Amino acid sequence: MANRSPSIRIGDDAPGYDLDCFSIPKNYAQDLEKVFIPHGLIMDRIERLARDVLQDMGGQHIVALCVLKGAYKFFSDLLNAMETLNRNSDQASPITVDFIRVSSYCNDQSTGSVRVLGGADLSSLAGKNVLIVEDIVDTGRTMQALLPLVEQHGPRMVRVASLLVKRTPRSLGYTPDFSGFEIPDRYVVGYAFDYNDYFRDLSHVCTLRETAKDKYALAVQKL
Ligand code: IMP
Ligand code: MG
């Protein structure tokens, strides 16, 4: 796509920002290492992603499919930005929403098995322009499992927007159509990214201290 913007690449040795430069909830202050992507930068990047998405998919009914739980903030902010563009355009088409819940992580490790825990009746995707909205592509297993499920319902077009893509040797090689930032192989939390469900309620994307991984660890279960 000619007009699709490049992902912002964050280098392997990016130092991040001191926590003291930002407002961090007291309860998490001891658990975080650095602010890695400030909330304001996330919002600025989303504004451009919204334009990229509408240039590619607009003019037809878009069904935006949110991959819960991690994508809920990105989903909401991306759709708000798309709605703003539609309000100011001569050629707007409807955007409807659906939600699917998928889980693959225990502590900070991808378990390798992707579980669809419920949500959307995907038959409503037939003939539609489907935008799958994901928080992060790490190994790519989630997308590899989800895309065939969506495709089998006969959508007109399927695109994937992921806020983050991780550079990792564990990658299966999948790259989303729209990507906000490419990040090094570190575990990040905040802006709905979680560690065992904690840290979603943090507005910046941050890196975790090792001590926090123990503090919020779950007993490893067989999934
Ligand atoms: P994949 O299937 O390995 O691509 O993993 C994708 C899912 O793992 C994402 O949708 C996230 O929910 C989760 N995940 C991967 N890396 C991180 C991270 O650094 N922080 C929080 N969640 C992550
Ligand atoms: Mg996810």
Query: CA torsion, points 199, 204, 210, 211, in degrees to nearest 10?
Result: -50
Sequence spans of domains, the chain: 39-184
Q: What is the pLDDT of residues 150-176, one digit of tens each?
A: 999 999 999 999 999 999 999 999 999
Confidence class of residue 188 from pLDDT cuts 50, 70 and 90? very high
Q: What is the pLDDT of residues 6-21, one digit of tens each?
A: 999 999 999 999 999 9
Q: Quick check: 190 and 87 in contact, CB under 8 A?
A: no
The candidate with the shortest Cα–Cα distance to 112, out of 84, 147, 150, 145, is 145
Q: Quick check: 130 and 100 in contact, CB under 8 A?
A: no
CATH number of 39-184: 3.40.50.2020
Q: Which amino acids bring their CB within 6 angstroms of ligand 1?
A: 70, 104-105, 110, 134-142, 166, 187-188, 193-194
Question: pTM of the full predicted structure?
Answer: 0.93
Q: Respond yes or no: is residue 12 known to be catalytic.
A: no
Burial classification of residue 29, based on how many CB atoms lie within 10 Å of its CB (0-12 exposed, 13-18 middle, 19 or more buried): exposed
Q: What is the pLDDT of residues 127-158, one digit of tens each?
A: 999 999 999 999 999 999 899 989 999 999 99
Asked whether the predicted pLDDT for residue 223 surpasses 50, the reply is: no
157: β partners: 129
